[in-house]
Chain A
Amino acid sequence: MRSNTVGWLMLAPTIAILGVFGIIPFLYVLYVAFHQWNPFGASPDMIYNGANNFRRLVFDAEFLTSIAFTMKFAFFAVLSEIALGYLLAQLFMKEFPGRGFFRTIHTLPLIVAPIVVGSVWRLMTTPSIGIIPYLLRNWFGYDLNIGRDATTAFTLTVIMDIWHWTPLVTLTLLAALLALPKEPFEQAQIDGANRRQIFWHVTLPMIRPAILATVFIRLMDALRTVDEVWMLTSGGPGAATRYVGLHIWKIVFPKTDYGYGAAISVIVLYLTLVMCWLLYVALVARRQRKRTF
């Protein structure tokens, strides 16, 4: 009994912080989501409007488009980061001159603030001054202009995200690979397994939890990306890179449509949870169930 009290006392600060900074704001957002509230409208009061905001977003083409673009962005960015991150982690496992130096250099993008990343990439891709359009024109005769071409703009946001976040994946997977025991690999080699078989049947299953954790983190980040993309394309051209985070920002801030913005935020949070859960079921739970049978 006494230990329970001490335990609760020890937990109290954490619970209080979680309540103040997590639960209460979320409940407030949920409350606002059921209201029509534009403080800069002719009537600035909060008016209860039931589920109207949620009903509205089902027919909101801009919102649906932003969701579709975000999914596409998250898919390409996260998949590429995992693949590239794994390859780099394998590379950094090997001994080569300057390995420490390259490991350090490789992690530098991680410490750059997203807003700076966006600014730098914008500088590098602006037609008149950017190094990337300059090189593409001189080497391949290709005129890069993200203000005019939706596909290019989308691709660049993906590449920028890969550049920024692949080091995180590399570091996580490198730690996972370094922690693996040597015996299963030696065993597999003795049994005559080739490199592909070792990868699929030994390495991958053993680092699966690390991959999954990284995918979750990156997926959640990719779904709420705002600042980098805002700096690079401002959501353009048109709505080609108006990802859902940016869409919410535009609804809440310049449009000051707080009620609707809150409803979208709640739905996006829900979608993120569902996606993570589906991923978990597909990659972990089903496999665990198979094992128990």
Chain B
Amino acid sequence: MIRKSGIGIAALAIGVLTSVIPAKADFWSDAGAKYKGVVLHGVTESTPPSNYIKDVLAPEFEKKTGIKVQIETTSWDQMYDKAIKDMEAKTGIYDMVYIEQDIIYAYLARNFLIDISKALKDDPSLKAPEFDETHFTTFANYFKNAEGNLFGIPMEAFIKVYLYRTDLFNDPKIQEAFKKETGKALAPAKTHEEYTQIAEFFTKYGKDNGLELWGTTAQAHTGHPASWYEFFESIAPTFGVYNWGIDASNNYAASVKNGGQMNSDKAKAAIKYWLHLRDIAPPESAASTWTEVGTTFAAGRVAQGLVYGENAAWIASDAEKSKVVGNVGVALPPTEADVLKEVEGGKGYLGYYDGGAFGLPITSKNKEAALLFLQFIGQDSVQPDWAIAAPRITNTSTYDDPKVLDMDKKLNGYYTMLKDQGKLFAGAPPFPFHAQVREATAPIFYKILLGEVGPDEGLDQMAEAAETELKNLGYRK
């Protein structure tokens, strides 16, 4: 009897203890318990990295924490439209918003975002043990303020690289023909002159042989900002014109007469070089935006081109979408002779280091739960599979993961280039007026593309228009 009651008491004691002592499963379930039932809303551009968040990371997080995450993936302009209107009107619909580098400075100027570093310091109970800001690559610096505090969790990061067709470049017959025509060995271009020669050769080769093949791609839409960005982010820097030719330290000067570079001789040489390439590129180039250059390359229509890294991976590895799988070489963009030295010396950059982060709007109604989710996607452990599914690397440890190393081989060293030479590339200039200056100068830029105004005269007009706009916005005194 006593024994029976003893067992009963022990069972009761265990029952009471298990009900009062909180379960210590892991940080996520414990931290998430307080916010169970909360629904987080995020808005982002529909890109492979964003879709991975929506399809894989959000459901995983929900499973671990009980916090539901709804990610809305939409077009680039819709995404900005929705996010900005929400933060502007303080409606608090979104708990996470995609921040591209060129908008972060405008968001910071408007105090739209939560300081993630400070928020986690202020409430250590929210800090995930696996999350560490120092694990991010230097790309995270683009989402920090002057004090070094983080305002966005990096989620997308890639460089715009020079892709070339190894099957064409290694073809002995083509090599011989190239040698005969130019007196040089066919190899990936290091200078603009070499790139032009190769482009001209392959365009002629395609025509002579009745092939749908051209010498180069060109992101040269005649009415879309993509072409403007191709010039200022990918072409002008290789001629030594950085930050769109605007000198922020010199009263935001854009024109040469005021100390800027937008209409400098270098910029004028750059645009003439690019216009020539555009003229020998496939016909769709005049309507190509960000992704179409990748599509053109993947369709086997060009021998070489500057392509965004996010496309490089599927072009090189996805046989369902690409006709050139296994035949894609990766190299640094060609430059003027002294530019590479200049860049290696820390002055300027070779091209665009593109990407974005997930930020937490100050208007969010679920800041704590959102902070948990942002840390979840910033952990080292979730990165390798994400990097395979969508070619982006934001955490240093990702480079050493065996799956990523394997993928790097398929991409002919794209990740290695990102790791070793990513420092030669740069994100958007730290200007809070990206869209405004772009829109003020783009109509003149399109006129240059259409031949309605000459390149020299057009760049002069653009520099003037940029300065006028900067004055209107109150930046230029």
Contact size range, B: 35 or more
Are B435 and A42 neighbours in the complex by a CB distance under 8 Å? no
Are B443 and A147 neighbours in the complex by a CB distance under 8 Å? no
Q: Is A85 an interface residue (CB 8 A)?
A: no
User: Contact mask B448-474 → A, CB, 8 Å, 1/0?
Assistant: 011010000000000000000000111
Are A237 and B222 neighbours in the complex by a CB distance under 8 Å? yes
Bound form: Cα–Cα A257–B437 in Å: 12
Would A236 and B222 be within 8 Å (CB), given that A40-B109, A145-B286 are in contact?
Answer: yes
Bound form: Cα–Cα A233–B88 in Å: 30
Are A250 and B224 neighbours in the complex by a CB distance under 8 Å? no
Name A144's closest neighbour in chain B (CB-CB). Answer: B283
User: Contact mask A157-173 → B, CB, 8 Å, 1/0?
Assistant: 00000000000000000
- Distance between B221 CB and nearest chain A CB, rounded to angstroms: 6
Q: Is A255 an interface residue (CB 8 A)?
A: yes
- Distance between A20 CB and nearest chain B CB, rounded to angstroms: 15
User: Contact mask A246-269 → B, CB, 8 Å, 1/0?
Assistant: 000011011111000000000000
Name B283's closest neighbour in chain A (CB-CB). Answer: A127
The listed residue (A40, A143, A242) touching B436 by CB distance below 8 A is: A40
- Consensus secondary structure, chain A interface: loop
Q: Is A70 an interface residue (CB 8 A)?
A: no
- Distance between A73 CB and nearest chain B CB, rounded to angstroms: 15
Q: Is B296 an interface residue (CB 8 A)?
A: yes
Are B221 and A236 neighbours in the complex by a CB distance under 8 Å? yes
> Which of B261-304 touch A at CB < 8 Å?
282-289, 292, 296, 299, 301
Are A237 and B439 neighbours in the complex by a CB distance under 8 Å? no
Bound form: Cα–Cα A43–B429 in Å: 20
Q: Is A19 an interface residue (CB 8 A)?
A: no
The listed residue (B81, B292, B447, B474) touching A238 by CB distance below 8 A is: B447
Set of chain A residues within 8 Å of B109, measured between Cβ atoms: 40, 44
Are A254 and B438 neighbours in the complex by a CB distance under 8 Å? yes
Bound form: Cα–Cα A240–B447 in Å: 11
> Which of A25-55 touch B at CB < 8 Å?
38-44
The listed residue (B88, B106, B284) touching A127 by CB distance below 8 A is: B284
Name B433's closest neighbour in chain A (CB-CB). Answer: A40
Are A235 and B223 neighbours in the complex by a CB distance under 8 Å? yes
Q: Is B347 an interface residue (CB 8 A)?
A: no
Q: Taking each of B221, B222, B223, B286, which has the highest tally of chain A beta carbons within 10 Å of its own beta carbon?
A: B223
Q: Is B92 an interface residue (CB 8 A)?
A: no
Are B443 and A62 neighbours in the complex by a CB distance under 8 Å? yes
Are A148 and B77 neighbours in the complex by a CB distance under 8 Å? no
Are B223 and A127 neighbours in the complex by a CB distance under 8 Å? no
Bound form: Cα–Cα A219–B472 in Å: 35
Q: Is A82 an interface residue (CB 8 A)?
A: no
Name B470's closest neighbour in chain A (CB-CB). Answer: A42
Would A236 and B223 be within 8 Å (CB), given that A38-B473, A127-B283, A127-B287 are in contact?
Answer: yes
The listed residue (B77, B439, B446, B474) touching A239 by CB distance below 8 A is: B446
Are A234 and B286 neighbours in the complex by a CB distance under 8 Å? no
Are A238 and B443 neighbours in the complex by a CB distance under 8 Å? yes
Are B88 and A42 neighbours in the complex by a CB distance under 8 Å? no
Set of chain B residues within 8 Å of A38, measured between Cβ atoms: 436, 472-473
The 6 closest A-B pairs by CB, nearest first: A236-B223, A147-B286, A42-B474, A237-B222, A147-B287, A127-B283
**Chain B residues in contact with chain A, CB under 8 A?**
77, 80-81, 88, 106, 109-110, 212, 220-225, 282-289, 292, 296, 299, 301, 432-433, 435-436, 438-440, 443, 446-447, 449-450, 452, 472-475
23 A-B contact pairs sorted by A residue (CB < 8 Å): A39-B110, A40-B110, A42-B473, A44-B109, A128-B282, A143-B283, A145-B283, A145-B286, A145-B287, A146-B287, A147-B220, A147-B221, A147-B286, A234-B223, A237-B286, A238-B222, A238-B223, A238-B446, A238-B452, A240-B223, A253-B80, A253-B435, A254-B225
